């Protein structure tokens, strides 16, 4: 009996290892038109996209990455539109803990698949600092702009736009933004460098 249980367990572990080997991190921008900047968008606390599409091998703010979900028909073209660092609290009841600050990232999610995208975008978003520490989204909103609601539904061909807010240590310098579909478990993660 123990031998059968051990064989079954080793089979499950092998299957899990194969499933994990499908993990990918996409950093190469998709083809996209030039992004224009308006003077009103430029503030010292906001990282804006470059005025022309990135030709570098690594995506940066303003670039679009093509991501896939768990199903073959689940696809998004995801753009990190801008990063607001630091971001102010949405109201007097929302404030970061002592020694922390808010960072807000605006994402554009275009459904390029054939299935409806129904998810909580904040579950699949992270920011990474220069030390490699990763931070999940907070439930708080910031004053950077409208945030995504807890759950979104985006039909094929449609687009969603919203901020996701993170609470990070005051001393941390944000270096990367990451996003994955299916609340972060799709296996296809997009990664953007933050200048």
Domain limits of the chain?
A: 23-193
Task: Write the CA distances from 181 to 106, 123, 131, integer angstroms.
Answer: 16, 9, 25
- At residue 8, the pLDDT reads 40
| Helix (H/G/I), strand (E/B), else coil: 13 | helix
Q: What are residue 80's DSSP bridge partners?
A: 107
The pTM score is 0.77
The CA-CA-CA angle for residues 64, 66, 32, to 5°, reads 35
- At residue 49, the pLDDT reads 53
Q: Are strands 100-111 and 117-119 parallel, antiparallel or unpaired?
A: unpaired
- At residue 60, the pLDDT reads 96
- At residue 57, the pLDDT reads 76
How confident is the chain (195 residues) per 10-residue block, as mean pLDDT?
Answer: 39 41 79 41 50 63 96 96 95 89 98 97 97 95 92 97 97 98 94 96
Domain 23-193, CATH number (from 3.20.20.70, 3.30.2040.10, 2.60.40.1240, 3.40.50.720):
2.60.40.1240
């Amino acid at each position: 009996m123990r031998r059968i249980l051990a064989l079954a367990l080793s089979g499950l572990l092998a299957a899990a290892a194969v499933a994990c080997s499908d993990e990918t991190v996409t950093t190469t921008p998709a083809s996209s038109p030039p992004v224009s900047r308006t003077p009103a968008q430029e503030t010292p606390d906001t990282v804006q996209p470059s005025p022309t599409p990135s030709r570098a091998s690594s995506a940066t703010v303003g670039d679009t990455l093509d991501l896939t979900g768990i199903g073959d028909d689940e696809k998004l073209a995801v753009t990190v539109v801008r990063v607001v660092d630091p971001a102010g609290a949405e109201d007097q009841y929302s404030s970061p803990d002592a020694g922390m600050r808010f960072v807000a990232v605006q994402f554009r999610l275009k459904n390029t698949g054939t299935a409806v995208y129904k998810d909580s975008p904040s579950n699949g978003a992270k920011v990474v600092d220069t030390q490699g520490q990763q931070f999940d989204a907070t439930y708080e909103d910031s004053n950077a702009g409208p945030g995504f609601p807890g759950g979104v539904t985006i039909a094929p061909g449609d687009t969603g736009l919203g901020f996701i807010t993170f609470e990070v240590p005051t001393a941390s310098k944000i270096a990367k933004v990451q996003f994955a579909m299916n609340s972060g478990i799709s296996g296809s993660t997009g990664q953007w460098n933050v200048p």
